[in-house]
Amino acid sequence: GAEGSTLMSYFSKNQIQALKPKITFSTLRDLQCPVLQSHDLQGKPEESCSTEELFEWLGAVLNQVNLDNKSSSFLSTYCCPEPNTVVEKAFLCTITGFIIPEKIIQLLEQLCCYFGEPKLAYWLTLTVHGFADSPVSWRESEHGFHKGGENLYNFVIFRNLDYWLQMAVGAHDDCPP
* Range list of H helices, the chain: 2-13, 51-62, 101-113
Nearest to 54 by CA among 170, 175, 155: 155
Indicate the residue among 97, 132, 160 that finishes a domain.
Answer: 97
% of the chain residues with pLDDT over 70 = 76
Residue 74 pLDDT: 57
Residue 17 pLDDT: 76
Edge-first strand listing for the sheet containing 123-129: 123-129, 151-158, 163-169
Residue 143 pLDDT: 61
Residue 82 pLDDT: 93
Pair (49, 63) in one structural domain: yes
Specify the pTM.
Answer: 0.79
Q: Among 36-40, 67-71, 94-98, 142-146, which range has the highest average pLDDT? A: 36-40
Pair (30, 70) in one structural domain: yes
Residue 105 has pLDDT above 70, yes or no: yes
Residue 4 has pLDDT above 80, yes or no: no
- How many angstroms separate the Cα of 160 from the Cα of each of 31, 37, 102, 127, 148? 23, 11, 24, 19, 36
Over residues 82-92, the pLDDT tens digits come to: 999 999 999 99
Pair (85, 148) in one structural domain: no
Report d(CA 44, CA 119) in Å as an integer. 25
pLDDT band at 9; cut points 50, 70, 90: confident
Residue 70 has pLDDT above 80, yes or no: no
Q: Which residues pair with 91 in a beta bridge?
A: 27
pLDDT, average across residues 161-174: 80
Pair (130, 103) in one structural domain: yes
Q: Which domain holds residue 108?
A: 99-176
The domain tally of the chain equals: 2
Report d(CA 168, CA 41) in Å as an integer. 16
Indicate the residue among 62, 97, 132 that finishes a domain.
Answer: 97
Residue 71 has pLDDT above 70, yes or no: no
